[in-house]
Amino acid sequence: MSATAVGDVLLDAIAVRDFGRIEECFDPDASLRVLTPGPLREFAGAVDAAGRFRHWFESLEGFELLDGDVEEIADRVRVRYRFRGRDAEKGWQLNEHTGYGKVVDGRFVALNVTCTGFRPTQAP
């Protein structure tokens, strides 16, 4: 599977919050690094990587992937997506992630993600 195809599968899995498919996008020994408005967070392995996505998306009501794209940049792949959902305590939130990853044998072996943080927004 090409690097962009893995990125497309990841976006499709995010859109439906399929955490099993998200996990399958990562090599068992993959690294995920996430720079948020708070601290840098690092995760090791496909299970922990998928767990971070679960942490972001699972509890949001009305979750919707608003936009996303995948582009190969030399030996890396960029995955960008924006999503919205309603947090039970904070209300409607908007967030965008941009990740740059290395794909080997059809899976991410490394993905570095920047995050806007959850930003208050209006209901759809």
Mean pLDDT along residues 28-50: 96
Task: Please give the Cα distance from 49 to 52 (Å, whole number).
Answer: 5
Q: Above 90 in pLDDT, residue 1?
A: no
| pLDDT reported for residue 91 | 97
Task: Please give the Cα distance from 94 to 119 (Å, whole number).
Answer: 5
| pLDDT reported for residue 76 | 97
Number of alpha helices (DSSP H) and beta strands (DSSP E) in the chain = 3, 7
For the stretch 79-122, pLDDT in tens is 999 999 999 999 999 999 999 999 999 999 999 999 999 999 99
Contact assessment for residue 90 and residue 117, using Cβ atoms and an 8 Å cutoff: no
CA angle, residues 92, 96, 101, in degrees to nearest 5: 150
Task: Please give the Cα distance from 92 to 11 (Å, whole number).
Answer: 21
Mean pLDDT along residues 28-34: 98
| pLDDT reported for residue 45 | 98
Domain that holds residue 85: 3-120
Could you tell me the CATH number of the domain that includes residue 52? Answer: 3.10.450.50
pTM of the predicted structure, to 2 decimals: 0.95
When divided into structural domains, the chain yields a total of 1
Mean pLDDT along residues 8-36: 98
If we measure between CA atoms, which residue out of 105, 123, 120, 121 comes closest to residue 30? 105
Mean of per-residue pLDDT scores for the chain:
97
| Tokens (6 digits) for 107 | 């899976």
Cβ neighbours of 91 (radius 10 Å)? 11
Mean pLDDT along residues 52-80: 97
